[in-house]
Amino acid sequence: MIVRNNCLHFRGDLPCKPHKNNNKLHCENCPQFVKISKQILIIKLGAAGDVIRTTPILHRIRKDFPNAEITWLTLTPVLVPKNYVDSILKWSIENILFLQNRNFDILYNLDKDKHAIGLAKSINAEKKIGYLMDEYGKCKPANSDSESKWLTGLFDDICMNNKKSYPQEILEVCGYDFNMEKYILQLPESDLLFDLPENKQIIGLNTGCGTRWLTRLWGAENWKHLSEILYSNGYIPLLLGGPVEDSLNREIAKSSPAIYKGYFELSDFLNLCNHCDLIVTSVTMTMHIAIGLEKKIVLLNNIFNKYEFELYGLGEILEPENKDCLGCYKNSCTENCMPSIPPNLIFKTIENLLK
């Protein structure tokens, strides 16, 4: 019997989809045979937001290699688009051992963390793009296209003078020009019914910022004030966040007209965000979710280089005024500048974006 293991549909341990649809189809008589042209591995583990904002590379890779078998290794498989990637693997010792015993034509390692560069060095690949490990166990660019983004991570002054967005940088790392390729974010299934009003516009208020850079916090009183303004003008303010923001969101909901539905698993959270007409957020995973879902967005920024963010015409970036320290990348600061962005300014920006 002929078995074509070089077919994109072939599984090796289970029947392929064409055979499941028609159990009389075998490899020798299958009209759906697609020969694998390249075997490609993408390593992008990172924070969830980093995974989402790296997905624009798939537009170009899939266009150049339509019959390639693409594997993506990540910490958040639910965020990797299934219709662009053939095999989505979660970081685990089992999957690492599996990948180390395969041969790839192209490896894209787009993470600089020690475990990512260490794995990338050990992978068998004819061509390696992105970042590898040097002789001292530290990150180095694998190719010349990766040098620019490598340097912005090494030197603050170079980072501050950078005028390229992350999607542009990451496409250039992969050897492509940036042509406004969008995020690819597929909405996963969710059984939850959030019971939200259907006759009014919903404004998502993402109140937190994680635990690393607390200088991004806007403050409970500001969120309460904005909620009151939104509600009095006919909008539904909806509080968003995870377990870290739960107590803050409960406090805001208790003394404002904002709705809080609690925190959820990532798949359900994506669906909750999809109910919003616009999302107000600092630089967080929710920002990237909003962009991926093509929601209108008001982005509050203070410590990062604003040119890093590509909003694709969906919104506006608001920053504290008259601050020479913008883009400081500090995780603690006496200036406490973020709360100086006035709620009225955010509301006016929301109104302009929703017109």
Single pTM value for the model: 0.92
Residue-level pLDDT at 210: 63
User: What residue ranges do the domains of the chain occupy?
Assistant: 36-173, 202-354
Q: CATH topology of 36-173 equal to that of 202-354?
A: yes
Q: Give me the mean pLDDT over the 233-241 stretch.
A: 97
CA 245 to chain centre: 20
Give, for 100, the enclosing helix (H) or strand (E).
helix 93-100
Contact status, residue 47 vs residue 285, Cβ threshold 8 Å: yes
Residue-level pLDDT at 330: 62
- Sign of CA pseudo-dihedral 312, 316, 320, 323: positive
Any idea which of 60-74, 291-305, 333-347 has the lowest mean pLDDT?
Answer: 333-347
What's the CATH fold of domain 202-354?
Rossmann fold (3.40.50)
Q: Which residue has the higher pLDDT, 320 or 316?
A: 316
Q: Going by C-beta distance under 8 Å and a sequence separation of 6 or more, which residues neighbour residue 54?
A: 44, 46, 110, 170
Q: Give me the mean pLDDT over the 310-330 stretch.
A: 81
Q: Smallest Cα–Cα separation from 293: which of 308, 279, 310?
A: 279
200 pLDDT higher than 60:
yes
pLDDT tens digits, one per residue of 148-177: 999 998 888 888 889 999 999 999 999 999
Q: Give me the mean pLDDT over the 205-219 stretch.
A: 75
Mean pLDDT (the chain) is: 92
Q: Report d(CA 106, CA 127) in Å as an integer.
A: 5
Q: Report d(CA 107, CA 127) in Å as an integer.
A: 6
Q: Report d(CA 148, CA 168) in Å as an integer.
A: 11
The CATH architecture that domain 36-173 belongs to is 3-Layer(aba) Sandwich (3.40)
Q: Give me the mean pLDDT over the 30-41 stretch.
A: 93
Contact status, residue 177 vs residue 211, Cβ threshold 8 Å: no
To the nearest 5 percent, what fractions of the chain are helix, strand and coil?
Answer: 35, 20, 45
**Residue that is written with structure tokens 């937190």 in the block:** 208
Share above pLDDT 90 across residues of the chain, in percent, rounded to a whole number: 73
Q: Report d(CA 223, CA 181) in Å as an integer.
A: 33
Give, for 39, the enclosing helix (H) or strand (E).
strand 39-43
Phi, then psi, of 272 in degrees rounded to 5 = -65, -45
Q: Token pair for residue 112?
A: 């600089």
Contact status, residue 191 vs residue 272, Cβ threshold 8 Å: no
Any idea which of 19-33, 99-113, 146-160, 333-347 has the lowest mean pLDDT?
Answer: 333-347
